[in-house]
């Protein structure tokens, strides 16, 4: 394409003047200062918009002047723009998929419907361990946790090899980070901990049943919840089927919000 256009025409290669180069440099530095300055003020969602806008202006200046697109053949600008167009396509297609999948992404490990059970509460006062609850927790454990924590809960599942810190060994009282009261374990399941994903998307019944089951694996004498402990994780100890007993699955983001508000 170049040959026909430029064969006979004497196209002068533009030389960027020093004064122009310094001017652009000055503007770029000012814009950097602006980016940093704006980041120190809380503008909510606007922070991101401003940061990206300023970055785009900076990028355009670099392209137009330092890289000389302003003085170059239009072809080169068009060529370079195609990359941005394809990048946009990449973004749009990715998000049009991810954002319309329902809550598959938010659910963490993908589990069959039957394993997580109906969202409706099956247990009254799910924070109090009963044999039925433990049995249900065992099922949940097989479906959700063995990959990391191992079939016996010793923290040695097949996926544990690549993890650091290692998944907790439930048969021992050592090395627990968030505490071992039911409410504290419930908190861990809701929030996640480092490599351990959050299970906030499981109905809280299921989370309580997991707590009950895990506690049968190791020594837990004296690790009891007070009413205040329960209130902290959103349970009203007086209620029949539990403050958090019957709620539907909530997205991770919401759960994390709730947790951070409590802090």
Partner 1 sequence: MSQSEAGVVLAADRHHAHHFNTANEEFDACKQGMWIFLVTEVLFFSGLFVAYAVLRVFNPEMMHEAHHLLNWKMGALNTVILITSSLTMALAVSSTQRGNIDKAVKLLWVTLICAGGFLIVKYFEYAHKFHEGILPGAQWHYEELKIAKAPLFFSVYFVMTGIHGLHVIIGMAIIYWLIRRAKRGEFGPAYFTPVEITGLYWHFVDLVWIFLFPLLYLVS
**C-alpha dist (Å) from residue 155 to 149, 175, 212:** 4, 12, 17
Q: Which does 250 bind (CB under 5 to 8 A by kind): ligand HEC, partner 1, none?
A: none
Q: Is 115 in the site for ligand HEC (CB under 6 A)?
A: no
The residue among 173, 209, 214, 196 whose CA lies nearest residue 252 is 196
Say what the alpha-carbon torsion angle 203, 208, 214, 220 is, to the nearest 10 degrees: 160
Q: Which residues pair with 193 in a beta bridge?
A: 196
Tell which one of 132, 152, 227, 257 touches partner 1 (CB under 8 A). 257
Binding of residue 129 to ligand HEC (CB under 6 A): no
Is 117 a residue that touches ligand HEC (CB under 6 A)?
no
Tell me how far apart the alpha carbons of residues 107 and 99 are, in angstroms, rounded to a whole number: 13
In the complex, what is the shortest distance from the CB of residue 135 to partner 1, in angstroms, rounded to a whole number? 28
- SS3 of 224, please? coil
What string of DSSP letters covers 86-112? HHHHHHHHHHHHHTTSTTTTTTSS---
- Asked if 126 is part of the footprint of ligand HEC (rule: CB under 6 A), the reply reads no
Crossing angle for the helix pair 182-191 and 204-217, to the nearest 10 degrees: 120
CB 158 within 8 A of CB 187: no
* DSSP class of 248: P
Q: How far apart are CA 26 and CA 255, in angstroms?
A: 46
Residue 167 site contact among ligand HEC, partner 1, none (CB < 5 to 8 Å, cut-off depends on kind): ligand HEC
Strand partners, 196: 193
Residue 249: DSSP 8-state:
P
Binds 55: which of partner 1, ligand HEC, none (CB < 5-8 Å by kind)? partner 1
Binding positions for ligand HEC, 30-69, rule CB under 6 A = none
Interface with partner 1 (CB under 8 A), residue from 70, 90, 118, 135:
90
Of residues 117, 130, 171, 192, which one binds partner 1 by CB under 8 A? 192
User: Site for partner 1 (CB under 8 A): how many residues?
Assistant: 75
CB of 143 to ligand HEC, least distance (A): 8
159 part of the interface to ligand HEC, by CB under 6 A: yes
User: Restricting to residues 197-226, which ones interact with ligand HEC according to CB under 6 A?
Assistant: 197, 199, 210, 214
175 touching partner 1, by CB under 8 A:
no
- With binding defined as CB under 8 A, does residue 158 bind partner 1? no
109: contact with partner 1 by CB under 8 A:
no
For ligand HEC, the binding residues in 161-180 under the rule CB under 6 A are: 163, 165, 167-168, 176-178
Regarding 262 and contact with partner 1 (CB under 8 A), the answer is no
- State how far Cα 96 lies from the chain centre: 18
Query: Is 21 a residue that touches partner 1 (CB under 8 A)?
Result: yes
The phi, psi pair for 65, rounded to 5°, reads -100, -60
- DSSP-assigned letter for residue 146: H
Name the site residues for ligand HEC (rule: CB under 6 A): 144-145, 147-149, 159, 163, 165, 167-168, 176-178, 185, 188-189, 193-197, 199, 210, 214
């Amino acid at each position: 394409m170049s040959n026909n256009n430029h064969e006979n025409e004497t196209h002068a290669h533009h030389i960027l003047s020093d004064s122009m180069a310094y001017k652009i440099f000055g503007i770029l530095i000012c814009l950097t200062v602006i980016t940093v300055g704006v980041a120190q003020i809380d503008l909510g969602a606007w922070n991101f918009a401003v940061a990206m806008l300023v970055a785009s202006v900076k990028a355009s200046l670099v392209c137009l002047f330092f890289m000389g697109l302003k003085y170059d053949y239009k072809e080169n600008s068009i060529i370079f723009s195609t990359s941005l167009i394809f990048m946009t396509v990449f973004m749009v297609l990715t998000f049009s998929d991810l954002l319309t999948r329902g809550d598959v992404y938010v659910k963490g490990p993908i589990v069959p419907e039957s394993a997580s059970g109906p969202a409706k509460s099956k247990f009254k006062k799910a924070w109090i361990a009963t044999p039925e609850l433990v049995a249900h927790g065992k099922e949940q454990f097989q479906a959700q946790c063995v990959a990391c924590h191992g079939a016996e809960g010793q923290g040695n599942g097949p996926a544990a090899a690549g993890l650091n810190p290692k998944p907790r060994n439930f048969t021992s009282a050592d090395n627990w980070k968030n505490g071992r009261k039911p409410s504290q374990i419930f908190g861990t399941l809701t929030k996640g901990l480092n490599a351990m994903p959050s299970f906030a998307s499981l109905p809280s019944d299921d989370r309580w049943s997991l707590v009950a089951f895990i506690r049968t694996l190791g020594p837990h004498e004296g690790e009891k919840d007070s009413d205040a402990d329960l209130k902290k994780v959103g349970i009203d100890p007086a209620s029949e089927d539990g403050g958090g007993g019957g709620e539907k699955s909530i997205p991770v983001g919401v759960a994390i919000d709730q947790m951070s508000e409590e802090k």
